[in-house]
Structure 1
């Protein structure tokens, strides 16, 4: 469809002004008609030139995997096989769940030459997405007309949790050297549960580490060096209910939980442990534990398009299902958002799991609620809100105190700090040898 452009509106406005002048001074009437004929000829000729088919080819260059919440560059390569330059405005149809920058783009495309345009996108939701087409506004040579031209170019991509920082961080056993915020170095080399090797005594070695038989034979102090147990299993029990859809900044509690899971899965795999995942409160499925990169990849492919549902969490059913699937003793990490009405059911579920497994419960704080404690009370309505908020937090704390005696470890943390808290807890449990 051909549409009038801005210049045509200006031309028509100018002719209208001249028509008023010619009506006041008839001597200019013949000149006005001449200008009208010239303008009509130019307008019709300009429109006919725009009607010629546009032979434009476009190629989109886009990574097939994108990290959630990070800006990425997309490039469009355009080429036309015409006889005259084209003036274009280019708009790529980006999926609704992605922010974009630098669109639409204006350009002059010479004939038989390739030109590349770039813009940026920022995915805000995980899953599979499709870029269906590119829309062009082609201007006529005199910029009196324009028409839309659509090029169907389908590109598919997957948006994963942002694990780029996870892979760059390496092992928290060297956290002091890497400078990762919040992580604590829980172990000094030589401590652990599994015997690794004999070596010369070093200052700081404990009496437990000294091998007295070898020391007597060699007549010098020899220490045993231990390493943490390997081939242990870690199961993430992930809440997919409606309450995990609560947002903390740009990400939901569910997204923060997935980021924390992927960080710990990567680290545990590098430590020689097996990682798996089971979901509840939504689509209920299970990925059995696997070693190293295989376990990490299986979890990543399973959860990258997973979204929280609308059901309520059923902790008791989730515990029974996990006990039926998981026969070997494992570290079970339950990720959820605890509310005071969950107390009885959650305690029963944790008690069931604790008979056979080591249970860590990680709950995400509702950050806006705690921020409300810092707001000034300036009226009666604010006072009522503050009183209700304090009562809610008091009941929540009672639930936590009661639950703390039922599980090995209870984590209550803001969503953005969940990954760090889980890693610290993992190394603390590994060092204790309780698994």
Structure 2
């Protein structure tokens, strides 16, 4: 694209005054006033055809593969001209709404030897895959009367990940409390189902621990020692539908769920269990494979960045059926979701009964603080009374759904968003202690 610069516009405006005066003084020679315009057009043509052309430029974009929400990172544009290079080159980076420039999204490139670079600092605003799809580069001609501009597609992607600094601190405190270190499960005599060793029977041990066959062979009572399994399968299923994208204290519920899921994933991976991530709205979206070991947390974190915000209703029937078909062993299925009333939860209830027959299902819900405040607020007008009645009805219907989930064999956590992650980890560790996984 080639278009006039500000210098050309001012030059055309400056020539209009002499042309007007010539037309007033010499009406018969009015055409002499057009000479300035013709001269300016000639200079514009020379400016557009000389110097480096649009095809002489090659540019590429470099950025960090990932960044944390609220953090800053640099995106660099590298440009190179084949042959003669202009003196001044400007660039601007195209980006989506997940990031914002700290100052401006562009600037001047410092050229040396026909090549140069421009670094622009961006701030990560929202979790997801931020795209930097194009770069606009422009430079002036030799006279500075025209701009030569080209658009270069880049396809740069930066994974904006949840801030896990607080997650790691909370997870480490849980691990220290439970004495689970470096992927080794805590051992308790008589608990768990994985055989550990034989030892002499001691008074006070349960009779179920006695290995009668080996005791008969050795002529003395021997007891089996078990340990809690280290390869339990944990599935973190996150509903990213319309209701989960509503904000809680300024942050969407799905982001709160992702943070809680990462906390539990960190603890589970350190405890030697297998962890996988699954998300859905109207259809399944993200389905990671099962990973193991503390070093795999980065993979779960990266896949969590792929969970998008959706305006569609969640399809529990399709999502849970798809998830159930992929699970070939008993698993702990943790479902982060929300529902407004019994009608919207009806299809979910129909599907949950089938998946609880084989798997341990845990629903994680955030308390609806807004409804609770409306129901408890002292009314001052008829409108306040109506709002309180509706809010109270919705809260009662929510408890009805929770009660039905428990009757179907599912476990339910309903917690304040601040305690969502710790409550989930406490329940997970309790499941391990009770040998329910």
Residue number in structure 2 paired with 1:172 = 171
2-structure distance, mates of 1:418, 1:244: 14
1:136-187 Cα shifts (integer Å, max 9, x gaps): 232345543323233x353343636436548x8278253598xxxxxxx466
State the Cα RMSD in Å.
4.8
1:148 and 2:149 are equivalent in the alignment = yes
* CA contact 1:86–1:109 (8 Å) conserved in 2: no
The verdict on how the C-alpha distance between 1:318 and 1:90 changes in structure 2, with shifts beyond 3 A counting, is closer
* CA contact 1:47–1:140 (8 Å) conserved in 2: no
1-structure distance, mates of 2:45, 2:148: 10
1-structure distance, mates of 2:155, 2:320: 41
Residue number in structure 1 paired with 2:421 = 419
The verdict on how the C-alpha distance between 1:88 and 1:279 changes in structure 2, with shifts beyond 3 A counting, is closer
2-structure distance, mates of 1:170, 1:196: 31
2-structure distance, mates of 1:176, 1:278: 24
Question: Displacement of 1:104 after TM fit?
Answer: 4.5
Residue number in structure 1 paired with 2:49 = 51
Residue number in structure 1 paired with 2:336 = 335
Question: Displacement of 1:75 after TM fit?
Answer: 0.6
The verdict on how the C-alpha distance between 1:377 and 1:77 changes in structure 2, with shifts beyond 3 A counting, is farther
Residue number in structure 2 paired with 1:181 = none
Question: Displacement of 1:50 after TM fit?
Answer: 3.9
Helix, strand or coil: the match of 1:291? Answer: coil
2-structure distance, mates of 1:255, 1:432: 30
* CA contact 1:61–1:75 (8 Å) conserved in 2: yes
Residue number in structure 1 paired with 2:215 = none
1:391 and 2:390 are equivalent in the alignment = no
1:92 and 2:93 are equivalent in the alignment = yes
Residue number in structure 2 paired with 1:219 = none
Question: Displacement of 1:80 after TM fit?
Answer: 3.7
2-structure distance, mates of 1:282, 1:12: 58
The verdict on how the C-alpha distance between 1:134 and 1:234 changes in structure 2, with shifts beyond 3 A counting, is closer
1-structure distance, mates of 2:78, 2:326: 51
The verdict on how the C-alpha distance between 1:7 and 1:274 changes in structure 2, with shifts beyond 3 A counting, is same
* 1:139-288 pair list within 5 angstroms: 139-150=140-151, 152-157=152-157, 159=159, 161-162=161-162, 164-165=164-165, 169=168, 172-175=171-174, 185=177, 192=188, 193=191, 229-239=229-239, 241-248=241-248, 252-277=252-277, 282-284=282-284
The verdict on how the C-alpha distance between 1:186 and 1:405 changes in structure 2, with shifts beyond 3 A counting, is farther
The verdict on how the C-alpha distance between 1:324 and 1:58 changes in structure 2, with shifts beyond 3 A counting, is closer
* CA contact 1:289–1:295 (8 Å) conserved in 2: no
With 388-397 and 324-333 compared, the bigger mean Cα shift is at 324-333
- Normalising to structure 2: TM-score of the pair? 0.68
Question: Displacement of 1:111 after TM fit?
Answer: 5.6
2-structure distance, mates of 1:343, 1:2: 58
1:72-101 Cα shifts (integer Å, max 9, x gaps): 310112344565743333112324654344
With 328-337 and 12-21 compared, the bigger mean Cα shift is at 12-21
1:172-231 Cα shifts (integer Å, max 9, x gaps): 253598xxxxxxx4669987446999xxxxxxxxx99xxxxxxxxxxxxxxxx9975422
1-structure distance, mates of 2:278, 2:84: 61
* CA contact 1:171–1:270 (8 Å) conserved in 2: no
1:98-117 Cα shifts (integer Å, max 9, x gaps): 43444443326546254321
The verdict on how the C-alpha distance between 1:153 and 1:431 changes in structure 2, with shifts beyond 3 A counting, is same
Structure 2: unaligned runs, 5 residues or longer: 198-203, 206-224
